[in-house]
Every structure is written in C-alpha cells, then in structure tokens.
Structure 1
Amino acid sequence: MFQVERKILEWVQKHIPLLLVVAATVIGTVLRFDQRHYVSTDYIGYLMDWYEKIKAAGALQGGLREQVGSYNLLFQFLIALMTYLPIDSLFAYKMLSILFDYLLAVICGWFVYDLIGRTSTWKGALAYTCVLCSPIVILNSATWAQCDVIYTFFIMISLYYFTKERYIPSFLWLGVGFAFKLQALFILPLYAFWYFSRKKFTVLHFLIPFGVLFLSGLPNVILGGRGLFDVFEVYFGQTEWFGQFAMNYPSFWLTLCTNPYTGYEEIWNVAMLSTIVILAILMVYWLYRKVEFTGKNLLYMGLLLIYTCILFMPGMHERYGYSYEILSILIAFLLPETIPLTVGLLGISMTTYGSYLYYNALNQYPFALPLLSVINIGIYLTYVRILNHKMSIENKQINR
C-alpha cells in the first residue's frame, strides 16, 4: 500500500462521523430539492390563499390587520415577510420548514451525543443522519410544505435545557414552540410531573410560555393594529376548527368506530377524560417508583406522555405524531430494542402521509385506519412496558 493511500484511509477512518454528516447533508438536500415542485391540496386550499391575501393587503403595511388562516400571529407575520422574497410562495414555505429540518437534526445529534456521555461522536452523527433523512421529516417539510418541524425543534431545545435543570430557558424555548403551534403544549404534562415530584421550580414558570406567546403577537399589534389578546383567540378558535375525532390519524377511538365523523360530540368528553386518566396513571406510577431525574428518563417520559395525548385525544391529525416520532428516533440510540417500534411508527406515518399526499387508499378501504389503530395501540403498549421497565432498572442502579 502506498504511503499516501495509507494516510488517506487513516484520515477517513478518523473522520467517519464528519463524513457521515456531510454525506447525510448532501443526500438530504438532494432529496428535498427533488420534492420542490410537489403541490399538496393543503397548499392549494390554505397556504397559497393565505400568502396571496396577506400580499394583496400590503404585507407588513396592511396584511397583518386581520386574521388570515388558522395559524397563529407569529406565522402570519412570517408569511408577510416571505411575500418580499423574489420566489414563488410554494418555495418560500418549503424553504422555511427545510431550514428547521437541519436545525432539528443538529439538536437531535447533539442530544444523543450528550446523553451517552460524549464518548462517541459517531452516534451523534448517526442521529443527525437518521433525523435529517427520515422520510417523515422530508415529506412533512419538502413535500407537504407543513411546519411541524418548527415547533418540534423548539420542544427539543426546551427538553435539552430541562435536562440541564435550566428551567427558565427551557420554558422560554417551549414558549417559542407554542407561539408556532398549539401542539407544542403536549409536552407540558412532563414538566408538570417534575414540578410536583422535584419541587425545583415555581408554578410561575408555567406562565412563561404564555408570556412568550403574547410577545410573539406584538409585531401584528404594532404593525397591524391587532388586539393585544388576539394571539390567544386564534388558539381558542383552533380547538373548534374540526368536528371529527380523528383526521387521518390511527386514533384509539377508531377501533370503536370506523367513521371519524360519527359520534364526535359523544366521544369528545369521554376521550378527553380518558386521556387525563391515563396521563395520571403514568405519573402516579412514576411517583410510586420514584423515577430518577435523568436526561434519558426525560426522553422516555416525554415520548410516553406526548404519545398518550395524541393517541387518546380527539381531533388529532396524522402530522401531530411528528414530535414523538422524533423522540422515538433518539430513544432508539439509547435502547436498541426499541428500533422495531421506531420503524413501526414511521411506517404508520408513511402510510397515512402517503394516503393524503398521493392517493386516498385509506378512504377506499374503511378497515385500513382501524387496523393501523390496532397496530398503533400495540406499539404504544410496548413502549409503555419497555420504557417503564428501563426506568425501573436505572433506578435500582442509581440507588445501589
């Protein structure tokens, strides 16, 4: 072997994590570029219309005066800014979300690297790769032009600071996520649990996300003359936006009724109460087991609590599972036995995403979503068993 050849191979072996990140970035960029022209019905029916209305009203000069669309004031402000870009609105929406794809991949890679004790860079690099090249992440942003990655990114930052017991930054970043999407609050039960169990921060911390939400609407108040509390009214309106207990998501309730429009009023109260009861059972169990405050346990609990909310609450979209799917990827690096569960979650979402984006197979076969619901429940129960068992083992090891 030539000396130069040997040095090249040695350099490659030494820098495999870096090369993996570079390769993933290139591949992820190519895959996203390939999806740039895809136009979803959501874009035609909602996003494009919102963009055109805000632009026609004068963008920052007049487009912020009235509520346009169902998204919050912060996102409406960003749309107004996007109208000044010399590109098509479709590309503007996608570029915003894709930017956060890379940011999410970075924070997830760092999170894994940090949790395993910063002893192996290749796991962090691999986590970055898995998130960035996840088909769900690509489909959500580059294909669908949706923004679930944005609030999920801020949830991950919030969780990271929470593991470091830096509670004010944690709640501040959670507030930014909340300002983008109401679904960011699905992580709040985790923080409520640690508030009661550790008593390390005050209940006033829970007001921080609402304060950030209020501040996020100030540009619209100043530039558009909106009311000071309009930012809250938008979210109140979203809770009544749809009248069905499942929107292409394999909810627990689809095992009882294949038609998501049937019995919504009757099921809503039962579903909400059931969700609260299940959350309470999980938390009481963790209190009883005296689960230790560790970064890994926070991820385990976060996945279970978000998963519980979305599986059992009414009115859930298929995209709302985005945050717990990202957590499942991180947990797969900590617990390899959960890899099949992660694959199962991604498979379910790819099926529901594909049904909406490309054809209506699930609507043509009434049994399809109920069948996915059964699989989804099975994955959820398996996570409950594995993660609770793992937390119990860790408690014994810590308390020895």
Structure 2
Amino acid sequence: MSVRRSTALMLAGLATFFVVVLWSSAIIAGAQDIGVYASIGEEMRQIVIGAKSTVTQGYYPPLASMLFLLLQANPFHLPFATAWVLLLFLMVAATVYCLHLVGDGEGAVAFPFLLALAALLLGADVVLAREAVVVLLPLVLSARAWARKRYDWSMASFAVAASLAPAAFLLVPMAALLLPRTDRWRAVRAFLLSLGICLIIPWVLLGSQGMGKIVVSLLHVPPVLSSFGPTDVGGSWLTGVRVASIVILVIIGAMSVFPVASLSRRVRVPPRICVLGMICIAGLLLRLSLAPLPGNGGDMQIEKGWAHSAVGLGIVPSYGRQLDGVMLPNYPPLSMEIFAFTGHAYRLLVSPTYRMDLPAYHVFIKLPGIIADILTSILLYILLRRTRGASTALIGAFIYTVHPAVLYDSAVWGQTDAVYTLFVVGCLVAITSERILLAGALLAAALLTKTQGIFLLPLVAVLLLFHPRWVTRFFAAATVTASVIVSPFWLAGAGGIVLRVYRDSVGYYTAVTMNAYNLWWAFFPGSAGHSDLDRLADILPYRWIGYCLFAISAIVVLLLLQPSVWRKVTDPKRSFLLFPIAALLAYAFFLFLTEMHERYLFPAMALGLPLLFTGIVGAALYTLVSIGYLLNLLGTVSFEAWDRALFAALPSLARIVAVVHIIVFVLCVLEVGRLSGRFSLESALSCLRWLSRRLVPAPLSSRPKNVRADAPAAAKRPRRDRYVRTNAV
C-alpha cells in the first residue's frame, strides 16, 4: 500500500468517522420515537456531553476527547459499529504496512507502532494501549512519507497526530527546519489545512468552548503521559506505571530521532545543538508527565491561592489579603509577579471563570519551575562547553535534566527554587563572559525572587573588589532591574511591603531547622521544642552561632581561590572554579544557618555539577550531596511506599544524612582547594600532623637528653655568632 493511499484512507476514515457518524447520530438523537435509534442518539448525546466536560476540565484536546470516548461506546449499535470497523481496518492496514516496512529493512520507522500494538495484544492496559495505537498511526505514516520525501502528506499526517497528542507540536519547529526550501510552503499549507480540519470539526460538534481551548491544547500533556505515575502521593508508583505509558515515552524519543538524525545533513545546524534540543524536549516531556502528581498538597494550595489572589485582587493587595484564606505571601515581589503571570495565562487560555479545581491549573502552577529547569540545563551546557568541550557539556546537560532531586523539587513538589537558581547560574555565566550589565540584572532578579539568593553576595563582592571597573555597570543594571520589578509597589505607595518581606524573612520561623538535615538536625533531630533564639550555655543564641559559622565558612571558601583566579575569571580554565565555590557557599548556607528548609540546597545541584568532571573524587562528592538532598526531600514529602518504609526501618537515617552532609562539606572544601592549587590533601594531612605535635605534648622518653660535658666535640651543638663582622680592606 502506497503512502498516498494510506494517508488518504486515514483522512477519509476520520472524515467519515466525524461527519457521517457523529452528525447522523446527532440528528437521530432528536427523534425519540424510533426505538433503537433513540437509545443510539441518547448514547451519542452522552458522549458529546462527556467530551465537552473532558475538554472543559483540560484532560484531553477536543479531537482526542471525542475519539477516546467513542471507543468506549456500545460497539453493537450500527453507527458505532461503523466507526469501529473503520478504526479496526485502519489498524490492520497499518499493521500490515509496518510489517512490510520491517521486511524491507526499514523497521525503525514502524517499530513504535508495532511496540504499542504488542502492548495492546499482551493486555498491558487495553484502553490506554488502544489510544496509543490510534495516536501512533498518523505518526508512523508521517515518518514514512517523510522518508519518501512526500513532505506534504507527511505534514498532513503529522497534523492529525498533533491534534490527538499536542505534545507532538514540540517537533514542529524541528520539522520546519528540516523541510527543503522548495517544498516548504506546500508542506506548511498541507499541515495547516489538515490541522484546521481536525480542530474545527470537533469544535463545531462540541459547541463553542472558546478559542483558548485550541490554544491551550498545545500545552496539554498527551493522554497517555498524564497517567504516568501514581494518582496520589500515598499510592504505589509501580501500580501507577503502565506498560503503554513507558511505550509512549519510548515512542516520542524514537519518533524524534528520525528527523534529528537528518538535521545535520539537511540544515546547517551543528549536531550538538540537535542533541541539546532533544535533551531539552525529553526533559520537558518528562516533567510534564510528572506535573499532574499532587506533590506537597499544602504548598500547592498556598501557591494556587497566591496566584488566584494576584489575579483577582492585584499583586500589591494580595500581600494584605488572600481570597482563599491561605497564608499571606512571604516571597519577594518577582515571585508574586511570576505567580500573577501564570494565573493570567491560565484564565486566558483555560478557564475564564478561574476554576481552581481543574487539573490544568495544577500543571500551570508548576510551569515556572519546569521551564526554569530546562533553561538552567542550557546554561550549564554553555558553561561546560566553554571549559570542558561539547561532549562533556551534553553529558552535563543531560545529567541535570534527569537529576532525580531536581525533578522532584520542581515537577513533583511544585516548588520555585529552580527560578532563582536559574538567575544565579545565569549571573555567574554572564560574569565569566564579562557581560556585567546582564550579571547585575540577573543577580537583582535572583534576590527579588527568593531571599535565599543572598548566599551569592560574598562571591560577587570579592569579584567586584578585584575588578573595580565593573562596579558602576553592575550596580547600575541591578538598580534599574530592581526598580522595574518593585515599581508597582512604589507607585501604589506600598514600598514598605517589600522591605517588610526581607525584614521578616529572618525569624519568620523560629525553629533551629525546618526539616533541613543540616548541622542543627545532627544535634536536635526534628528540632521539636528547640528555638533558634535559645542560648548555648546562656551566652549566644543559636541563630547568631549559625551566622558566625556561615561567615567563617564563607571566608574559608573564598580563600580557596588564589588572587590570580579572581583577576582572570573570564579565562575558561580559571572561571570553571567559580561554580564549585558558589556551590560551597550554598552548601554552607544550608548547613550552618538556622530556620533552613530542606529545599534550600537546590542551587548546589546546578552550581556543583562541574565537580562531576574534575575526577573520581569530585564525582563521588557530588553524588553523595545529591543523594543526601534527595533523601531530605523524600523524608519531608514522601513519594512512594518504599521511601516511607526506608525511613520507618531506619529511624536515625535523617540524623545520619545530616552528619554525612557535614563530612562531605569538609571533603568538598579540601577537593576544591586541591583543584585551585591552594593546597592538596597531602599538605592538609601534614598540617594536621604539625598541629598534633604542637598541641599534644611528647612523652618523656622521646625528649632529647642533655649532652654531657665530656661528650665528643662533634656531638656538641656548634656555636654560631648572630652577627659576623668583616673588616673591609
């Protein structure tokens, strides 16, 4: 069967399916006195009502909603039987065609479809695998038509697939780059025509749900991916994973490999950029598949309430009153502006009435952190490519994209630590590129997103001391950026709100630790009944002890770099060390200060990534820090039954993690000092031996004895004059 005939048959089947079956059934639905047809019409009416509800709640795009609901209807009624025959015929034809491709040695194109079909036949999840087969059919035909250089038919089939699973729209820019210039207009025209048919028909049949539904369908997770993972935090992840869900993840990767493999040959784009694009797309899809998970219900409800109040009341009034009764915001202005932008986008694209119970709202609230993760991986690629090469940069970007702790914080939990981490990493990348204006703007954005960005100030201060010509530009950019962000508050006469947020950030929580497995958890597990205002031996409060420890550790960390490194931070070989130094500052901020949450170690995951490529020791230390941080997150918000069982079996695990954190921090300081050439491990051990000899008195038997008077002259200590006088002739 030719590609043209297969595509034509598929489009004709879909047209018949929607126009003839649905319209005829809708017409028959009005005739209540025709016996069996009345029940058919009633069933069709229920399907249309269900499809409307599904589209409104944001589960599926319109075409997929109607198709999947129809597949659940009674197949023994004549109109539904007709649709079933068409679909089964298309599936059989596609199966035969794919087997023919396998016989011709082109099984890579047909592999995804056959894999989903095998999952269906094996009974993995009949409904889900059946949906996957329906979605994959146009994708297979599109890939095969592309291989035959029939770009118009390929893009038409691709439009059908995209209307069923909107995540396929992520491949549209890549396909546009691959299209030959002579065939580009014809292919784009076929794509738009096919897409228009697939969007208009269900829109007309389901009634006007607003053009925003069509726009927001581009952001929807594919139906198969939305079921990936548990339905609640208490459920088992293994029961939530379905075979067809894993299949669809493999399929998306397999279908994207084909056009990317031809990208370097057809378009003058470096292959490393293609691979980086694939990594980012895979990371985005992975995060969108995890975004429907509930995460931390309390934090998510607070963030949803903040976004709702910022939209309904305004950003400035939301600091004094909340529509949903949640706690008042304690985040700086830029965070609330991001929540307000997310809320306005949700109201415009999904729910004009701002329904907060829709699953799409849950995903929208997590989008800022998800997007920030992808952009941070791109910045890490830029850094590592300049200092370690393209291959290492791609590996580093991939590791950060699939980092379990990073995924858990942004995609599962729904926190926004990734946003200010993006600004922090961008600030350092801009400094090492000598883009001082951009660096100042990004540092101001980081501090106005979350107060925790203050840990970077000591490093920036030392940099400006060694580069005084940067000071004016840096502070000018930071001042302008801060003025623009804070301007709504000053114009409303509420500038004191901004100052109050920063003033109250210290002492907002009075516990020595807020679930952070750090130094204070090692001494006060759980911190129950221990305030950071309590005094050690009635002398100094724990809060001030934390300040002193952080100040000392920051000085030690900053002294690890030699002056030559500070003066030449734009040199790729030297600028590489700035990121481990910044990671150690974030680590010390987390370990020694009081009132720390478990999430405050997040920036170290991005800033410490270069340590992976310094040797075995650096890689081992970064891995230990990552494992400790992930255990801290799981110990606070459980994800699955296994982590709850782990902490139940080892009640002291949290304290062990806290002690290991302290040891690993010391080892990281020694390792970064070795990398910078300041000292080595051998010199550190020799210093310890020297201190032990000075502090611990030696035994009497080892002390030198007095020399006797009749001892040989050679045994006596020779007398040296302090000054030797010579007479000039």
What range is the shorter-chain TM-score in?
Answer: 0.7 to 0.9
Q: How does 1:212-291 map to 2 (within 5 A)?
A: 212-222=481-491, 225-261=492-528, 262-265=530-533, 266=535, 267-284=542-559, 286=561
Deviations 1:102-147 (A, max 9, x none): 111111111110123xxx3222222221111111221111111111
Query: Displacement of 1:164 after TM fit?
Result: 2.7
Matching residue's letter, 2:340: A
**Cα distance between partner residues in 1 of 2:398 and 2:367:** 19
* Shift of residue 13, structure 1, vs aligned partner: 11
Aligned to 2:660: 375
Partner of 1:30: 285
| Aligned residue in 2 for 1:52 | 308
SS of the residue 1:33 aligns to: helix
Deviation string 1:162-204 (CA, Å, 9 cap, x unpaired) is 1133333212211111111111121111122233445454389
Residue 326 in 1 paired to residue 606 in 2? yes
1:386 and 1:193 map into 2 onto residues whose CA distance is 21
Structure 2 SS opposite 1:161: helix
Structure-2 separation of matches of 1:62 and 1:393: 52
Q: Is 1:314 aligned to residue 570 of structure 2? A: no
Provide the aligned C-alpha RMSD in A.
3.4
Give deviations 1:327-354, integer Å, cap 9, x for gaps: 1212313445311111111111111111
Q: Deviations over 1:304-329 (max 9, x none)?
A: 22222221111111211111121121
Q: Which has the higher contact order (CA 8 A, sep 6+)?
A: 1
CA distance in structure 1 between the partners assigned to 2:288 and 2:440 by the alignment: 35
Residue by residue over 1:37-96, the C-alpha shift from the partner in whole angstroms, topping out at 9 and shown as x without a partner, is 222233345212223333443x46965776841112222223223223244432221112
Q: Which amino acid aligns with 1:298?
A: L
* Partner of residue 107, structure 1: 379
Which deviations, in whole Å up to 9, do the C-alpha atoms of 1:277-317 show, x marking residues without a partner? 22223334546897664211212321222222221111111
Q: Counterparts of 1:160 and 1:231 in 2: how far apart (Å)?
A: 28
1:142 maps to: 411
Q: Is the 8 A contact 1:64 1:226 kept in 2?
A: no
Contact 2:406 2:605 in 1 (8 A): no
Aligned residues: 384
Separation (CA, whole Å) in 2 of partners of 1:240 and 1:64:
18
* Offset at residue 206 of structure 1 (A): 5.5
Amino acid at match of 1:385: L
Instruction: Mark the CA change 1:190 to 1:37 in structure 2 (over 3 Å): closer, same or farther.
Output: same
* CA distance in structure 1 between the partners assigned to 2:497 and 2:674 by the alignment: 45
Whether the 8 Å contact between 1:162 and 1:170 is mirrored in structure 2 is yes
Report the secondary structure of 1:174's partner residue. Answer: helix
Whether the 8 Å contact between 1:245 and 1:314 is mirrored in structure 2 is yes
Structure with higher Rg: it is 2
Gaps spanning 5+ residues in structure 2: where? Answer: 1-105, 107-257, 323-327, 351-359, 536-541, 569-573, 681-729
> Aligned partners of 1:24, 1:394: CA distance in 2, in Å?
38
| Closer/same/farther in 2, CA of residues 104 and 288 from structure 1, 3 Å limit | closer
- 86-95 vs 375-384, which moves further: 86-95
More off after superposition, 25-34 vs 341-350: 25-34
Which residue of structure 1 lines up, in the alignment, with residue 423 of structure 2?
154
The answer to whether the Cα contact below 8 Å between 1:64 and 1:76 also exists between their aligned partners in 2 is no
* TM-score for the superposition, normalised by structure 2: 0.48
Q: Which moved more, 1:22-31 or 1:179-188?
A: 22-31
Q: Which sits farther off after the overlay, 295-304 or 103-112?
A: 295-304
Supply the AA of the counterpart residue of 1:218. Answer: S
Choose 21-30 or 348-357, whichever is displaced more.
Answer: 21-30
Q: Is the 8 A contact 2:463 2:566 kept in 1?
A: no
Letter of the structure 1 residue corresponding to residue 342 of structure 2: M
Q: 1:63 to 1:128 in 2, by over 3 A?
A: same
Letter in 1 for 2:633: Y
Could you tell me whether the CA contact under 8 Å between 1:213 and 1:231 is conserved in 2? Answer: no
Distance 1:259 1:227, change over 3 A: same
Which amino acid in 2 is paired with 1:31? L
Q: Percent identity?
A: 16
Select the residue among 338, 345, 365 that pairs with 2:618. Answer: 338
Q: Distance in 2 between matches of 1:308 and 1:18?
A: 35
Distance change in 2, residues 1:363/1:238 (3 Å): farther
In structure 2, how many angstroms separate the alpha carbons of the residues matched to 1:253 and 1:305? 17
Change in Cα spacing, 1:264 to 1:306, as seen in structure 2 (3 Å) is same
Specify whether residues 17 and 316 from structure 1 end up closer, same or farther in structure 2 by C-alpha distance, changes over 3 A only.
same
Deviation of 1:221 after TM superposition, in Å, equals 4.2
Q: What TM-score results when the alignment is normalised by the length of structure 1?
A: 0.84
Tell me, yes or no, if the aligned pair for 1:53 and 1:63 is still in contact at 8 Å. Answer: yes
Which structure 1 residue ranges, 5 or more long, are not aligned? 396-400
The residue that corresponds to 1:79 in the other structure is 339
